[in-house]
Protein backbone atom coordinates (compact mmCIF):
# COMPACT_ATOMS: atom_id res chain seq x y z
CA UNK A 1 0.00 0.00 0.00
CA UNK A 2 1.31 3.45 -0.83
CA UNK A 3 0.09 6.76 0.52
CA UNK A 4 -1.19 9.66 -1.57
CA UNK A 5 0.25 12.17 0.84
CA UNK A 6 2.63 12.20 3.80
CA UNK A 7 2.40 14.51 6.78
CA UNK A 8 5.45 15.29 8.86
CA UNK A 9 4.85 17.23 12.08
CA UNK A 10 1.96 15.80 14.04
CA UNK A 11 1.29 18.42 16.68
CA UNK A 12 -2.29 19.70 16.78
CA UNK A 13 -2.44 21.16 13.25
CA UNK A 14 -0.57 18.38 11.45
CA UNK A 15 -2.49 15.66 13.26
CA UNK A 16 -5.85 17.22 12.47
CA UNK A 17 -5.00 17.82 8.81
CA UNK A 18 -3.78 14.22 8.54
CA UNK A 19 -7.06 13.01 10.06
CA UNK A 20 -9.06 15.27 7.75
CA UNK A 21 -7.23 13.84 4.72
CA UNK A 22 -7.80 10.26 5.93
CA UNK A 23 -11.47 10.92 6.64
CA UNK A 24 -11.79 12.11 3.07
CA UNK A 25 -10.53 8.80 1.75
CA UNK A 26 -6.83 9.49 1.24
CA UNK A 27 -4.17 7.13 2.51
CA UNK A 28 -1.88 9.25 4.69
CA UNK A 29 1.68 8.44 5.70
CA UNK A 30 2.46 9.78 9.17
CA UNK A 31 5.79 11.06 10.44
CA UNK A 32 6.95 13.12 13.40
CA UNK A 33 10.43 13.89 14.72
CA UNK A 34 9.59 12.07 17.92
CA UNK A 35 7.59 8.88 17.39
CA UNK A 36 5.30 9.46 20.40
CA UNK A 37 3.03 11.88 18.52
CA UNK A 38 2.67 9.42 15.63
CA UNK A 39 1.72 6.60 17.94
CA UNK A 40 -0.61 8.81 19.95
CA UNK A 41 -2.46 9.78 16.77
CA UNK A 42 -2.74 6.18 15.62
CA UNK A 43 -3.90 5.01 19.04
CA UNK A 44 -6.56 7.73 19.44
CA UNK A 45 -7.72 8.22 15.88
CA UNK A 46 -6.33 5.35 13.81
CA UNK A 47 -9.92 4.49 12.91
CA UNK A 48 -10.40 7.75 11.01
CA UNK A 49 -9.06 6.20 7.80
CA UNK A 50 -6.00 4.63 6.18
CA UNK A 51 -2.70 5.62 7.79
CA UNK A 52 0.85 4.38 7.26
CA UNK A 53 3.12 4.68 10.29
CA UNK A 54 6.68 5.72 9.50
CA UNK A 55 9.59 6.33 11.83
CA UNK A 56 12.17 7.92 9.57
CA UNK A 57 12.14 10.43 6.75
CA UNK A 58 13.35 7.69 4.40
CA UNK A 59 10.40 5.47 5.39
CA UNK A 60 8.05 8.39 4.88
CA UNK A 61 9.39 9.07 1.38
CA UNK A 62 9.37 5.36 0.47
CA UNK A 63 5.73 5.02 1.48
CA UNK A 64 4.48 7.64 -0.99
CA UNK A 65 3.10 7.30 -4.51
CA UNK A 66 4.80 9.41 -7.20
CA UNK A 67 4.93 12.30 -7.63
CA UNK A 68 5.37 12.38 -3.87
CA UNK A 69 3.46 14.90 -1.82
CA UNK A 70 4.90 15.71 1.61
CA UNK A 71 3.06 18.12 3.87
CA UNK A 72 5.30 19.77 6.46
CA UNK A 73 3.42 20.90 9.58
CA UNK A 74 6.23 21.80 11.97
CA UNK A 75 6.89 25.00 13.85
CA UNK A 76 7.46 27.92 11.47
CA UNK A 77 11.03 29.18 11.02
CA UNK A 78 14.23 27.14 11.31
CA UNK A 79 12.41 23.79 11.88
CA UNK A 80 10.89 24.05 8.38
CA UNK A 81 14.35 24.53 6.82
CA UNK A 82 15.70 21.64 8.85
CA UNK A 83 12.91 19.32 7.64
CA UNK A 84 13.37 20.49 4.04
CA UNK A 85 17.12 19.82 4.27
CA UNK A 86 16.53 16.25 5.36
CA UNK A 87 13.79 15.67 2.77
CA UNK A 88 15.35 17.08 -0.38
CA UNK A 89 18.13 14.46 -0.84
CA UNK A 90 15.49 11.72 -0.65
CA UNK A 91 13.13 13.15 -3.28
CA UNK A 92 12.98 12.98 -7.10
CA UNK A 93 12.24 15.66 -9.70
CA UNK A 94 8.54 16.49 -9.83
CA UNK A 95 7.89 15.69 -6.17
CA UNK A 96 5.95 18.26 -4.18
CA UNK A 97 6.97 19.64 -0.80
CA UNK A 98 4.19 21.52 0.97
CA UNK A 99 4.56 23.86 3.93
CA UNK A 100 1.20 24.31 5.65
CA UNK A 101 2.54 26.25 8.62
CA UNK A 102 2.46 29.98 9.23
CA UNK A 103 5.71 30.67 7.39
CA UNK A 104 6.77 34.13 6.36
CA UNK A 105 6.15 34.59 2.64
CA UNK A 106 9.73 35.72 2.02
CA UNK A 107 10.93 32.40 3.48
CA UNK A 108 8.50 30.66 1.16
CA UNK A 109 9.83 32.58 -1.84
CA UNK A 110 13.38 31.62 -0.87
CA UNK A 111 12.50 27.96 -0.35
CA UNK A 112 10.51 27.78 -3.58
CA UNK A 113 13.49 29.08 -5.56
CA UNK A 114 15.90 26.71 -3.77
CA UNK A 115 13.75 23.65 -4.43
CA UNK A 116 13.07 24.65 -8.02
CA UNK A 117 16.82 24.30 -8.56
CA UNK A 118 16.36 20.60 -7.67
CA UNK A 119 13.31 20.33 -9.97
CA UNK A 120 11.12 20.00 -6.91
CA UNK A 121 7.89 21.88 -6.37
CA UNK A 122 7.55 23.84 -3.17
CA UNK A 123 4.05 24.91 -2.21
CA UNK A 124 3.53 27.35 0.65
CA UNK A 125 -0.01 26.90 1.89
CA UNK A 126 -1.84 29.27 4.21
CA UNK A 127 -4.23 27.36 6.45
CA UNK A 128 -6.76 29.17 8.61
CA UNK A 129 -9.34 27.90 11.03
CA UNK A 130 -7.29 26.77 14.01
CA UNK A 131 -7.28 23.18 15.16
CA UNK A 132 -11.00 22.66 14.63
CA UNK A 133 -10.79 24.01 11.09
CA UNK A 134 -7.84 21.73 10.32
CA UNK A 135 -9.95 18.73 11.30
CA UNK A 136 -13.34 19.71 9.94
CA UNK A 137 -12.43 21.92 7.00
CA UNK A 138 -10.11 24.93 6.98
CA UNK A 139 -9.84 27.81 4.56
CA UNK A 140 -6.80 26.98 2.44
CA UNK A 141 -4.60 29.44 0.51
CA UNK A 142 -2.05 27.59 -1.61
CA UNK A 143 0.82 29.26 -3.48
CA UNK A 144 3.51 27.59 -5.60
CA UNK A 145 3.39 26.56 -9.22
CA UNK A 146 0.18 25.95 -11.15
CA UNK A 147 1.55 22.52 -12.09
CA UNK A 148 1.93 21.56 -8.43
CA UNK A 149 -1.60 22.76 -7.75
CA UNK A 150 -2.97 20.54 -10.52
CA UNK A 151 -1.65 17.54 -8.59
CA UNK A 152 -2.31 18.76 -5.07
CA UNK A 153 -5.32 21.05 -5.46
CA UNK A 154 -8.06 18.41 -5.66
CA UNK A 155 -6.96 16.95 -2.31
CA UNK A 156 -6.80 20.35 -0.65
CA UNK A 157 -10.16 21.36 -2.09
CA UNK A 158 -11.71 18.14 -0.79
CA UNK A 159 -10.57 18.71 2.80
CA UNK A 160 -11.30 22.44 2.82
CA UNK A 161 -14.33 24.21 4.30
CA UNK A 162 -17.27 24.60 1.95
CA UNK A 163 -19.44 27.68 1.44
CA UNK A 164 -22.70 26.78 -0.29
CA UNK A 165 -20.93 23.66 -1.52
CA UNK A 166 -17.97 25.59 -2.99
CA UNK A 167 -14.52 24.69 -1.62
CA UNK A 168 -12.73 27.42 0.33
CA UNK A 169 -9.48 26.60 -1.44
CA UNK A 170 -8.19 28.09 -4.69
CA UNK A 171 -4.76 28.44 -6.20
CA UNK A 172 -3.62 31.90 -5.11
CA UNK A 173 -0.49 32.51 -7.16
CA UNK A 174 3.16 31.62 -7.54
CA UNK A 175 5.82 31.18 -4.83
CA UNK A 176 4.89 33.01 -1.60
CA UNK A 177 1.43 34.26 -2.70
CA UNK A 178 -0.47 31.79 -0.50
CA UNK A 179 1.46 32.62 2.64
CA UNK A 180 1.21 36.34 1.86
CA UNK A 181 -2.56 36.16 1.59
CA UNK A 182 -2.74 34.13 4.82
CA UNK A 183 -0.60 36.77 6.53
CA UNK A 184 -2.93 39.56 5.42
CA UNK A 185 -5.89 37.44 6.55
CA UNK A 186 -4.30 37.34 9.99
CA UNK A 187 -3.70 41.10 9.89
CA UNK A 188 -7.38 41.66 9.16
CA UNK A 189 -8.17 39.23 11.98
CA UNK A 190 -6.17 41.42 14.39
CA UNK A 191 -8.11 44.54 13.30
CA UNK A 192 -11.41 42.69 13.42
CA UNK A 193 -10.79 41.60 17.01
CA UNK A 194 -9.61 45.06 18.05
CA UNK A 195 -12.73 46.83 16.72
CA UNK A 196 -14.86 44.32 18.60
CA UNK A 197 -12.83 45.12 21.72
CA UNK A 198 -13.32 48.84 21.20
CA UNK A 199 -17.09 48.36 20.84
CA UNK A 200 -17.11 46.29 24.04
CA UNK A 201 -15.15 48.96 25.92
CA UNK A 202 -17.46 51.75 24.74
CA UNK A 203 -20.57 49.82 25.71
CA UNK A 204 -19.07 48.90 29.10
CA UNK A 205 -17.12 52.02 30.13
CA UNK A 206 -19.29 54.47 28.19
CA UNK A 207 -22.80 53.09 28.56
CA UNK A 208 -22.30 50.82 31.58
CA UNK A 209 -23.64 47.71 29.86
CA UNK A 210 -22.48 44.59 31.66
CA UNK A 211 -20.87 41.72 29.72
CA UNK A 212 -23.87 39.38 30.07
CA UNK A 213 -26.13 42.03 28.55
CA UNK A 214 -23.57 42.75 25.89
CA UNK A 215 -23.62 39.07 24.99
CA UNK A 216 -27.25 39.58 23.97
CA UNK A 217 -26.35 42.68 21.96
CA UNK A 218 -23.58 40.83 20.10
CA UNK A 219 -25.92 37.91 19.45
CA UNK A 220 -28.38 40.37 17.99
CA UNK A 221 -25.64 42.02 15.89
CA UNK A 222 -24.68 38.61 14.58
CA UNK A 223 -27.94 38.37 12.70
CA UNK A 224 -27.29 41.53 10.67
CA UNK A 225 -24.55 42.97 8.46
CA UNK A 226 -21.94 42.18 11.13
CA UNK A 227 -22.75 38.46 11.03
CA UNK A 228 -19.44 36.65 11.45
CA UNK A 229 -17.62 34.01 13.44
CA UNK A 230 -15.81 36.59 15.59
CA UNK A 231 -19.04 38.40 16.57
CA UNK A 232 -20.62 35.02 17.35
CA UNK A 233 -17.81 33.96 19.67
CA UNK A 234 -17.69 37.42 21.26
CA UNK A 235 -21.23 36.80 22.49
CA UNK A 236 -20.09 33.43 23.82
CA UNK A 237 -17.08 34.81 25.70
CA UNK A 238 -18.98 37.82 27.11
CA UNK A 239 -21.82 35.57 28.27
CA UNK A 240 -19.45 33.25 30.11
CA UNK A 241 -19.28 33.43 33.93
CA UNK A 242 -16.11 32.48 35.78
CA UNK A 243 -16.90 29.38 37.84
CA UNK A 244 -14.31 30.24 40.50
CA UNK A 245 -15.49 33.76 41.32
CA UNK A 246 -18.95 34.09 39.78
CA UNK A 247 -17.68 37.19 37.95
CA UNK A 248 -17.94 37.75 34.21
CA UNK A 249 -15.15 35.67 32.67
CA UNK A 250 -13.82 38.71 30.80
CA UNK A 251 -13.17 40.44 34.15
CA UNK A 252 -10.87 37.73 35.49
CA UNK A 253 -8.65 37.59 32.40
CA UNK A 254 -5.46 39.70 32.44
CA UNK A 255 -5.87 42.48 29.87
CA UNK A 256 -2.56 41.96 28.07
CA UNK A 257 -3.10 40.58 24.57
CA UNK A 258 -0.56 38.15 23.16
CA UNK A 259 0.55 37.83 19.57
CA UNK A 260 2.45 35.26 17.59
CA UNK A 261 3.73 37.64 14.95
CA UNK A 262 1.64 37.43 11.79
CA UNK A 263 -0.05 40.77 12.54
CA UNK A 264 3.35 42.36 13.01
CA UNK A 265 4.56 40.80 9.74
CA UNK A 266 1.54 42.28 7.96
CA UNK A 267 2.39 45.76 9.20
CA UNK A 268 6.09 45.43 8.38
CA UNK A 269 5.18 44.28 4.86
CA UNK A 270 2.62 47.07 4.51
CA UNK A 271 5.30 49.61 5.42
CA UNK A 272 7.68 48.09 2.87
CA UNK A 273 4.97 48.22 0.20
CA UNK A 274 3.93 51.77 1.18
CA UNK A 275 0.41 50.48 1.77
CA UNK A 276 -1.67 52.47 4.31
CA UNK A 277 -2.98 49.70 6.55
CA UNK A 278 -3.52 51.95 9.56
CA UNK A 279 -6.34 49.86 11.07
CA UNK A 280 -4.26 46.70 11.11
CA UNK A 281 -1.22 48.61 12.38
CA UNK A 282 -3.18 50.21 15.23
CA UNK A 283 -4.57 46.83 16.23
CA UNK A 284 -1.05 45.40 16.47
CA UNK A 285 0.11 48.43 18.48
CA UNK A 286 -2.96 48.14 20.73
CA UNK A 287 -1.91 44.61 21.67
CA UNK A 288 1.64 45.80 22.26
CA UNK A 289 0.44 48.66 24.50
CA UNK A 290 -1.86 46.34 26.44
CA UNK A 291 1.17 44.19 27.23
CA UNK A 292 3.25 47.07 28.62
CA UNK A 293 1.87 46.21 32.01
CA UNK A 294 4.53 47.91 34.09
CA UNK A 295 4.23 51.25 32.29
CA UNK A 296 0.45 51.06 32.41
CA UNK A 297 0.45 50.57 36.18
CA UNK A 298 2.81 53.52 36.66
CA UNK A 299 0.79 55.70 34.26
CA UNK A 300 -2.42 55.14 36.21
CA UNK A 301 -0.89 57.03 39.12
CA UNK A 302 0.65 59.83 37.05
CA UNK A 303 -1.22 60.62 33.84
CA UNK A 304 -4.36 62.75 34.17
CA UNK A 305 -7.36 61.97 32.00
CA UNK A 306 -9.48 65.14 32.30
CA UNK A 307 -12.36 63.16 30.85
CA UNK A 308 -15.43 65.13 29.91
CA UNK A 309 -19.00 64.23 30.59
CA UNK A 310 -21.07 63.28 27.62
CA UNK A 311 -24.76 62.69 27.43
CA UNK A 312 -25.00 59.58 25.37
CA UNK A 313 -27.57 59.63 22.61
CA UNK A 314 -30.38 57.11 22.83
CA UNK A 315 -28.98 55.60 19.69
CA UNK A 316 -25.60 54.91 21.32
CA UNK A 317 -25.66 51.12 20.99
CA UNK A 318 -26.71 51.38 17.36
CA UNK A 319 -24.07 54.08 16.81
CA UNK A 320 -21.42 51.74 18.15
CA UNK A 321 -22.65 48.97 15.86
CA UNK A 322 -22.38 51.28 12.85
CA UNK A 323 -18.93 52.49 13.89
CA UNK A 324 -17.82 48.89 14.27
CA UNK A 325 -19.19 47.99 10.85
CA UNK A 326 -17.55 50.99 9.16
CA UNK A 327 -14.19 50.38 10.85
CA UNK A 328 -14.33 46.72 9.95
CA UNK A 329 -15.01 47.60 6.31
CA UNK A 330 -11.99 49.90 6.33
CA UNK A 331 -9.79 47.09 7.68
CA UNK A 332 -10.89 44.81 4.85
CA UNK A 333 -10.43 47.63 2.33
CA UNK A 334 -6.90 48.26 3.62
CA UNK A 335 -6.02 44.55 3.62
CA UNK A 336 -7.28 44.15 0.06
CA UNK A 337 -5.43 47.29 -1.03
CA UNK A 338 -2.28 45.75 0.40
CA UNK A 339 -2.90 42.59 -1.66
CA UNK A 340 -3.16 44.75 -4.77
CA UNK A 341 0.15 46.44 -3.94
CA UNK A 342 1.83 43.07 -3.31
CA UNK A 343 0.48 41.64 -6.57
CA UNK A 344 2.24 44.47 -8.42
CA UNK A 345 5.44 44.12 -6.42
CA UNK A 346 5.77 40.34 -6.73
CA UNK A 347 4.10 39.78 -10.10
CA UNK A 348 1.20 37.79 -8.64
CA UNK A 349 -2.06 37.70 -10.55
CA UNK A 350 -4.16 37.80 -7.38
CA UNK A 351 -7.87 37.28 -7.95
CA UNK A 352 -9.42 39.34 -5.17
CA UNK A 353 -12.87 37.86 -5.70
CA UNK A 354 -11.50 34.34 -5.28
CA UNK A 355 -9.51 35.32 -2.20
CA UNK A 356 -12.63 36.84 -0.61
CA UNK A 357 -14.57 33.72 -1.62
CA UNK A 358 -12.28 31.39 0.28
CA UNK A 359 -12.47 33.47 3.45
CA UNK A 360 -16.25 32.93 3.53
CA UNK A 361 -16.02 29.70 5.53
CA UNK A 362 -13.49 27.76 7.59
CA UNK A 363 -11.31 30.70 8.64
CA UNK A 364 -11.37 33.01 11.64
CA UNK A 365 -12.50 36.12 9.72
CA UNK A 366 -15.39 34.33 8.02
CA UNK A 367 -18.25 36.79 7.69
CA UNK A 368 -21.36 37.47 5.62
CA UNK A 369 -19.64 40.60 4.40
CA UNK A 370 -17.14 38.52 2.44
CA UNK A 371 -19.80 37.33 0.04
CA UNK A 372 -20.50 40.96 -0.90
CA UNK A 373 -16.75 41.67 -1.11
CA UNK A 374 -16.38 38.73 -3.46
CA UNK A 375 -19.17 40.07 -5.65
CA UNK A 376 -17.57 43.54 -5.67
CA UNK A 377 -14.48 42.11 -7.40
CA UNK A 378 -16.21 39.48 -9.53
CA UNK A 379 -16.60 41.46 -12.77
CA UNK A 380 -13.16 42.37 -14.11
CA UNK A 381 -14.28 45.61 -15.80
CA UNK A 382 -16.05 46.81 -12.65
CA UNK A 383 -13.29 46.08 -10.12
CA UNK A 384 -13.05 49.07 -7.78
CA UNK A 385 -9.74 50.85 -7.13
CA UNK A 386 -10.63 50.50 -3.44
CA UNK A 387 -13.29 48.35 -1.81
CA UNK A 388 -14.90 51.45 -0.27
CA UNK A 389 -15.52 52.83 -3.75
CA UNK A 390 -17.87 49.99 -4.66
CA UNK A 391 -21.34 51.62 -4.90
CA UNK A 392 -22.90 49.26 -2.33
CA UNK A 393 -20.11 49.75 0.23
CA UNK A 394 -19.79 53.50 -0.42
CA UNK A 395 -23.49 53.78 0.37
CA UNK A 396 -23.30 51.52 3.42
CA UNK A 397 -20.38 53.40 4.91
CA UNK A 398 -21.95 56.78 4.13
CA UNK A 399 -24.96 55.67 6.16
CA UNK A 400 -22.65 54.87 9.08
CA UNK A 401 -20.53 58.04 9.00
CA UNK A 402 -22.64 60.29 11.28
CA UNK A 403 -22.78 57.58 13.97
CA UNK A 404 -19.09 56.80 13.47
CA UNK A 405 -18.12 60.45 14.07
CA UNK A 406 -20.35 60.65 17.16
CA UNK A 407 -18.82 57.48 18.59
CA UNK A 408 -15.21 58.56 18.03
CA UNK A 409 -15.92 62.03 19.45
CA UNK A 410 -17.65 60.48 22.48
CA UNK A 411 -14.77 58.07 23.04
CA UNK A 412 -12.28 60.94 22.95
CA UNK A 413 -14.37 62.94 25.44
CA UNK A 414 -14.64 59.96 27.78
CA UNK A 415 -10.97 59.02 27.49
CA UNK A 416 -11.74 55.59 26.08
CA UNK A 417 -9.06 54.60 23.56
CA UNK A 418 -10.49 53.61 20.18
CA UNK A 419 -7.36 53.45 18.03
CA UNK A 420 -8.86 51.45 15.16
CA UNK A 421 -12.24 53.21 15.13
CA UNK A 422 -10.47 56.56 14.90
CA UNK A 423 -7.64 55.50 12.55
CA UNK A 424 -10.20 53.97 10.21
CA UNK A 425 -12.26 57.15 10.22
CA UNK A 426 -9.11 59.18 9.55
CA UNK A 427 -8.31 56.86 6.62
CA UNK A 428 -11.83 57.32 5.27
CA UNK A 429 -11.55 61.08 5.54
CA UNK A 430 -8.02 61.05 4.14
CA UNK A 431 -9.24 59.14 1.11
CA UNK A 432 -12.16 61.46 0.41
CA UNK A 433 -10.80 64.94 1.18
CA UNK A 434 -9.96 66.96 -1.92
CA UNK A 435 -6.83 68.47 -0.33
CA UNK A 436 -4.48 66.97 2.24
CA UNK A 437 -1.73 68.67 4.23
CA UNK A 438 0.71 66.55 2.24
CA UNK A 439 1.14 69.71 0.14
CA UNK A 440 2.72 71.41 3.16
CA UNK A 441 4.84 68.30 3.79
CA UNK A 442 6.17 68.61 0.24
CA UNK A 443 6.92 72.28 0.80
CA UNK A 444 8.85 71.49 3.99
CA UNK A 445 10.76 68.69 2.30
CA UNK A 446 11.71 71.01 -0.50
CA UNK A 447 12.91 73.68 1.93
CA UNK A 448 15.09 71.51 4.14
CA UNK A 449 16.22 68.91 1.63
CA UNK A 450 15.55 70.21 -1.89
CA UNK A 451 13.30 67.19 -2.37
CA UNK A 452 11.29 69.04 -5.06
CA UNK A 453 7.55 69.11 -5.67
CA UNK A 454 4.96 69.01 -8.43
CA UNK A 455 2.50 71.83 -9.08
CA UNK A 456 -1.27 71.59 -9.26
CA UNK A 457 -1.32 73.70 -12.42
CA UNK A 458 0.98 71.84 -14.77
CA UNK A 459 3.53 69.16 -15.50
CA UNK A 460 7.10 69.13 -14.22
CA UNK A 461 9.13 68.89 -11.05
CA UNK A 462 10.19 72.05 -9.25
CA UNK A 463 12.40 73.41 -6.52
CA UNK A 464 12.20 76.78 -4.83
CA UNK A 465 15.51 78.48 -4.06
CA UNK A 466 14.54 79.01 -0.41
CA UNK A 467 17.92 80.32 0.72
CA UNK A 468 18.27 82.70 -2.20
CA UNK A 469 15.62 84.81 -3.88
CA UNK A 470 12.83 82.19 -3.57
CA UNK A 471 12.51 81.92 -7.29
CA UNK A 472 11.33 78.59 -8.63
CA UNK A 473 13.42 76.45 -10.91
CA UNK A 474 12.54 73.31 -12.81
CA UNK A 475 14.37 70.41 -11.25
CA UNK A 476 15.28 66.84 -12.04
CA UNK A 477 13.95 64.79 -9.11
CA UNK A 478 16.85 62.66 -7.94
CA UNK A 479 15.31 61.67 -4.61
P1 LIG B 1 3.87 23.71 16.56
O2 LIG B 1 4.04 25.00 15.85
O3 LIG B 1 3.70 23.73 18.02
O4 LIG B 1 5.12 22.76 16.19
C5 LIG B 1 5.26 21.49 16.79
C6 LIG B 1 5.72 20.48 15.76
O7 LIG B 1 6.95 20.89 15.17
C8 LIG B 1 5.98 19.12 16.40
O9 LIG B 1 5.56 18.12 15.49
C10 LIG B 1 7.50 19.13 16.58
O11 LIG B 1 8.06 17.84 16.64
C12 LIG B 1 7.90 19.81 15.30
N13 LIG B 1 9.27 20.29 15.27
C14 LIG B 1 9.87 21.31 15.95
BR15 LIG B 1 9.07 22.30 17.25
N16 LIG B 1 11.16 21.49 15.64
C17 LIG B 1 11.41 20.55 14.71
C18 LIG B 1 12.56 20.23 13.98
N19 LIG B 1 13.69 20.93 14.12
N20 LIG B 1 12.49 19.20 13.12
C21 LIG B 1 11.37 18.50 12.96
N22 LIG B 1 10.21 18.76 13.62
C23 LIG B 1 10.24 19.80 14.47
O24 LIG B 1 2.64 22.89 15.90
P25 LIG B 1 1.17 23.37 15.51
O26 LIG B 1 0.56 24.24 16.55
O27 LIG B 1 0.48 22.14 15.10
O28 LIG B 1 1.39 24.31 14.23
C29 LIG B 1 2.02 23.85 13.07
C30 LIG B 1 2.11 25.00 12.09
O31 LIG B 1 0.78 25.44 11.76
C32 LIG B 1 2.82 26.25 12.64
O33 LIG B 1 3.51 26.89 11.62
C34 LIG B 1 1.68 27.12 13.10
O35 LIG B 1 2.02 28.49 13.15
C36 LIG B 1 0.66 26.83 12.03
N37 LIG B 1 -0.73 27.12 12.39
C38 LIG B 1 -1.20 26.85 13.62
C39 LIG B 1 -2.52 27.12 13.94
C40 LIG B 1 -3.06 26.80 15.29
O41 LIG B 1 -4.23 27.14 15.55
N42 LIG B 1 -2.30 26.16 16.17
C43 LIG B 1 -3.36 27.63 12.97
C44 LIG B 1 -2.87 27.86 11.70
C45 LIG B 1 -1.56 27.60 11.42
P46 LIG B 1 8.24 17.10 18.08
O47 LIG B 1 6.89 16.51 18.37
O48 LIG B 1 9.27 16.08 17.84
O49 LIG B 1 8.64 18.15 19.06
What CATH number has the domain bearing residue 141? 3.40.50.720
Distance 78 CA to ligand 1 centre (A): 11
Chain-centre distance of CA 432, in angstroms? 25
Of 138, 171, 204, the position where a domain reaches its end is 171
- Indicate whether 264 and 398 sit together in one domain: yes
The predicted structure's pLDDT at residue 382: 84
Centroid of ligand 1 to alpha carbon of 406 (angstroms) = 45
Measured CA angle at 107 (ends 351, 83), to 5 deg: 120
Nearest atom, ligand 1, residue 11 CA: 27
Average pLDDT over residues 13-42: 98
Whether 176 is covered by a domain: the verdict is: no
Count how many Cα atoms sit within 13 Å of the Cα of residue 63 in the half-sphere of its side chain: 22
**Nearest partner of 349 among 170, 116, 122, judged by Cα:** 170
Q: Name the pTM for this structure.
A: 0.96
Yes or no: say if 88 and 5 are a contact pair by the CB < 8 Å rule. no
* pLDDT score of 477: 52
Please give the full DSSP string across 137-158, using - where no structure is assigned: --EEEE-S-HHHHHHHHHHHHH
- 347 and 231 in one domain? yes
479 assigned to some structural domain: no
| pLDDT reading at 170 higher than 70 | yes
Residue of 242, 238, 178, 234 lying closest to 211 (CA atoms):
238
Residues with CB under 6 A from ligand 1: 9-14, 32-34, 37, 73-76, 79, 82-83, 101-102, 127, 130-131
What is the tens place of the pLDDT at every residue in 315-366? Answer: 999 999 999 999 999 999 999 999 999 999 999 999 999 999 999 999 999 9
Mean pLDDT, range 118-125, rounded to an integer: 98
**Distance between CA atoms of 383 and 376, rounded to whole angstroms?**
7
Q: 336 and 455, same structural domain?
A: no
460: pLDDT strictly greater than 60:
yes
The residue from 108, 139, 171 where one domain ends is: 171
Q: pLDDT band at 74, cuts 50/70/90?
A: very high
Q: Do 349 and 368 fall within a single domain?
A: yes
Which positions are annotated as active-site residues?
182, 189
Q: For ligand 1, what atom is nearest to the CA of residue 34?
A: 48
Mean pLDDT of 405-414: 98
Whether residues 227 and 165 fall in one domain? no
Q: From the alpha carbon of 76, which atom of ligand 1 is closest?
A: 33
pLDDT at 147 over 90: yes
Specify the number of domains making up the chain.
Answer: 3
Please indicate, yes or no, whether residues 77 and 122 belong to a single structural domain of this protein: yes
219 and 342 within one domain:
yes
Confidence band, pLDDT 50/70/90 cuts, at residue 380: confident
Instruction: Clarify whether residues 330 and 222 are in a common domain.
Output: yes
Domain range enclosing 81: 5-171
Count CA within 13 A, CB hemisphere, residue 177.
Answer: 26
Instruction: Based on the fold, state whether residues 279 and 318 are members of the same structural domain.
Output: yes
Amino acid sequence: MSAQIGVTGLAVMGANLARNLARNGYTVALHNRSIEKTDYLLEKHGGDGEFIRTETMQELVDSLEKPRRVLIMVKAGAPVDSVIDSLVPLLEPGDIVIDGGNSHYEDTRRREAALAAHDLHFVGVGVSGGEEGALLGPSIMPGGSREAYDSLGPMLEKISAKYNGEPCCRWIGTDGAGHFVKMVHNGIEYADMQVIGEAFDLLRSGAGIEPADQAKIFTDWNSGTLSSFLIEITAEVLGHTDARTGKPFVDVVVDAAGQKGTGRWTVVSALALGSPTSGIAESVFARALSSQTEQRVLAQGILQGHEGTVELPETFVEDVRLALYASKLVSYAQGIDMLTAAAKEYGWDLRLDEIASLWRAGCIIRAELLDDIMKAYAVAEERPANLLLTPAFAEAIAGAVPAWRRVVATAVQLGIPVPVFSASLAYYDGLRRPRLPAALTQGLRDLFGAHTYNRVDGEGTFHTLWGEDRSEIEAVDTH
